[in-house]
């Protein structure tokens, strides 16, 4: 699978799929790094001056750029190609997984029924996912995170594993775990003496970004939750396949069944932008409840929250809200005061920090919100 390390649950590409997935990665790179330059030029030279002259107002907000570019041919072409890339990516990852699902499901059954199993999985069929994640087919994937054909269905997780690698332009490392690795690097850099005994990862999907915490803190018990049963089955099987101990359970991060103060570290990776304003507020309150005094929380999400300024860049960053079924994306990136939500949730005011966290290679960055429970 491209540059991913093989394990027993990883869907393997045939030569057609390899070619298709490489093409989709290249198309995304060309769209985001090259063709966007022409759209920017159109905006600066034509669309913006024309719109400012027509409205008598200078552009300040992403909605100004949206109005100006809506009928601009270079933006329309770029956006249409972006949507085609996304649709092809959805179809080609689904085909790749479905073609080999019986073999992957047999591997899953064997891994999770092995007597020397490391971790656990607790599913809860009574969970009702919040509307923000259930009323849209997120990322334009039919069924979103919730298409589930029964007890050994792991397709959602398998698609997420390879899909996230392709969506990430093939730059997420051989274990597809750059976000988890970035969280660990952040902790080791900022809190070198911090030794969490219990760690919780919220919204883990396929669990690849949970595993770096297992390796970084071998003495700790590691837990991970999500709303999606097929994602959690895959996450559990994948962790077993690579010999890592994690306790997975199907729970809502806004209101979990763990006791007060059970954890020393609560993390999430690109969870926030897929929730809602009240969802982020509730998740931060729940993280605060779950932490023991002196415990820390760390939430990573996309860097564009801090790196995109100005109407054009913010409008382009907002593409996923308008075209990729990510309803909260733009509001999370540009409209919500997340540090204030953390303070309101009860975290020590002067501990709340919002910054960019470099990946271990230093080639990319994630947005990071960190906070402490109690006084430093
Ligand atoms: C973009 S994925 C995050 C993937 C994973 N953390 C990673 O870095 O690869 C978002 C995940 O959050 C889950 N999710 C969304 N809202 C949630 C909630 N309230 N409680 C638990 N999980 C939630 C979704 O089911 C989905 O699997």
pLDDT at 48 over 90: yes
Which element (helix H / strand E) includes 315? helix 311-317
- Asked if 27 contacts 37 with a C-beta cutoff of 8 angstroms, the reply is no
Which element (helix H / strand E) includes 53? helix 48-55
Q: Is residue 135 part of a domain?
A: no
CATH number at residue 215: 3.40.50.150
Dihedral sign for Cα 239, 253, 348, 186, please.
Answer: positive
How much is the average pLDDT of 158-166? 90
DSSP symbol at 274? G
How much is the average pLDDT of 68-85? 96
Of residues 136 and 229, the one with the higher pLDDT is: 229
Beta-carbon count within 10 A of 157 CB = 30
How much is the average pLDDT of 200-218? 98
pLDDT digits (tens, 9 = 90+) for 244-294: 999 999 999 999 999 999 999 999 999 999 999 999 999 999 999 999 999
Determine which residue's CA is closest to atom 14 belonging to ligand 1.
203
Position 151 scores a pLDDT of 84
Position 140 scores a pLDDT of 87
* CA dist., res. 326 & res. 132, Å (int): 9
- Asked if 238 contacts 158 with a C-beta cutoff of 8 angstroms, the reply is no
Dihedral sign for Cα 131, 275, 207, 323, please.
Answer: positive
Q: Is residue 287 part of a domain?
A: yes
Position 376 scores a pLDDT of 63
Q: What is the band of 1 on the pLDDT scale with cuts at 50, 70, 90?
A: low
- How far does Cα 175 stand from its chain's mean position? 15
284 C-alpha to center of ligand 1: Å?
14
> Ligand 1, from 163, 271, 284: best to mutate by most atoms within 8 Å of Cβ?
271
Q: Is residue 71 part of a domain?
A: no
Q: What is the band of 2 on the pLDDT scale with cuts at 50, 70, 90?
A: low
Q: Is residue 4 part of a domain?
A: no
How much is the average pLDDT of 2-24? 91
- How far does Cα 236 stand from its chain's mean position? 18
* pTM of the model as a whole: 0.96
Phi-psi map region of 56: left, alpha, beta (phi>0 left; psi -120 to 50 alpha): left
Q: What is the band of 213 on the pLDDT scale with cuts at 50, 70, 90?
A: very high
For residue 341, the enclosing domain spans 155-372
Determine which residue's CA is closest to atom 9 belonging to ligand 1.
209
Closest-lying ligand 1 atom to the alpha carbon of residue 253: 20
Measured from CB, residues less than 6 Å from any atom of ligand 1 are 130, 133, 145, 164, 179, 202-205, 208-209, 225-228, 231, 252-254, 269-271, 274-275, 279
Closest-lying ligand 1 atom to the alpha carbon of residue 208: 9
Closest-lying ligand 1 atom to the alpha carbon of residue 176: 9
Percent of the chain beyond pLDDT 70?
99
- To the nearest whole number, what is the mean pLDDT of the chain? 95
pLDDT digits (tens, 9 = 90+) for 283-322: 999 999 999 999 999 999 999 999 999 999 999 999 999 8
Q: Is residue 317 part of a domain?
A: yes
Determine which residue's CA is closest to atom 11 belonging to ligand 1.
203
Of residues 172 and 229, the one with the higher pLDDT is: 229
Position 116 scores a pLDDT of 87
* CA dist., res. 168 & res. 162, Å (int): 10
- Structural domain count of the chain: 1
Say what angle helices 155-167 and 229-241 make with each other, to 10 degrees.
80
Position 155 scores a pLDDT of 96
How much is the average pLDDT of 134-138? 90
Encoding tokens for residue 298? 């760390």
Pick from 182, 213, 200: nearest CA to 296: 200
- Asked if 367 contacts 317 with a C-beta cutoff of 8 angstroms, the reply is no
Lowest mean pLDDT segment, chosen from 1-5, 32-36, 70-74, 81-85: 1-5
Of residues 333 and 150, the one with the higher pLDDT is: 333
204 C-alpha to center of ligand 1: Å?
6
Q: Is residue 281 part of a domain?
A: yes
| DSSP assignment string, 195-251 | --SEEEEES-TTSTTTHHHHHH-TTSEEEEEES-HHHHHHHHHHHHHTT---EEEE-
> Ligand 1, from 203, 209, 302: best to mutate by most atoms within 8 Å of Cβ?
203
Q: Is residue 213 part of a domain?
A: yes
* CA dist., res. 183 & res. 188, Å (int): 9
Lowest mean pLDDT segment, chosen from 37-46, 132-141, 251-260: 132-141
Q: Is residue 298 part of a domain?
A: yes
> Ligand 1, from 207, 274, 302: best to mutate by most atoms within 8 Å of Cβ?
274
pLDDT digits (tens, 9 = 90+) for 330-376: 999 999 999 999 999 999 999 999 999 999 999 999 999 999 998 76
């Amino acid at each position: 699978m491209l540059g991913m390390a093989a394990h027993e649950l990883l869907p393997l590409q045939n030569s057609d799929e390899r070619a298709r997935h490489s093409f989709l990665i290249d198309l995304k790179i060309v769209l985001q790094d090259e063709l966007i330059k022409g759209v920017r030029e159109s905006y600066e030279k034509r669309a913006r001056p024309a719109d400012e002259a027509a409205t008598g107002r200078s552009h300040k907000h992403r909605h100004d750029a949206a109005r100006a570019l809506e009928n601009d041919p270079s933006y329309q072409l770029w956006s249409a190609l972006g949507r085609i890339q996304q649709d092809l990516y959805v179809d080609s990852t689904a085909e790749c997984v479905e073609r080999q699902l019986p073999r992957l499901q047999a591997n899953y059954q064997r891994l999770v029924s092995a007597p020397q199993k490391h971790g656990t999985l607790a599913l809860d069929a009574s969970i009702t996912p919040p509307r923000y994640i259930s009323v849209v087919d997120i990322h334009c994937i039919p069924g979103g995170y919730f298409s589930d054909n029964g007890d050994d269905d792991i397709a959602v997780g398998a698609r997420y594993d390879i899909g996230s690698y392709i969506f990430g332009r093939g730059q997420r490392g051989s274990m597809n775990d750059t976000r988890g690795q970035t969280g660990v690097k952040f902790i080791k850099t900022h809190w070198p003496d911090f030794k969490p005994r219990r760690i919780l990862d919220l919204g883990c999907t396929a669990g690849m970004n949970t595993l770096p915490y297992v390796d970084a803190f071998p003495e700790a018990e590691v837990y991970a939750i999500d709303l999606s049963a097929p994602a959690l089955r895959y996450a559990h099987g994948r962790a077993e396949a690579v010999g890592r101990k994690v306790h997975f359970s199907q729970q809502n991060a806004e209101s979990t069944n763990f006791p007060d103060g059970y954890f020393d570290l609560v993390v999430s990776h690109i969870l926030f932008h897929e929730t809602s304003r009240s969802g982020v507020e509730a998740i931060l309150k729940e993280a605060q409840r779950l932490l023991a005094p002196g415990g820390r929380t760390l939430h990573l999400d996309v860097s564009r929250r801090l790196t995109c300024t100005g109407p054009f860049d913010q409008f382009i960053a907002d593409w996923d809200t308008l075209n990729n079924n990510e309803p909260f994306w733009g509001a999370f990136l540009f409209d919500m005061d997340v540090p204030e939500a953390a303070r309101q949730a009860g975290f020590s005011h002067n501990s709340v920090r919002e910054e960019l966290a470099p990946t271990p290679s230093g080639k990319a960055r994630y947005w990071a919100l960190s906070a402490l429970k109690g006084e430093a």
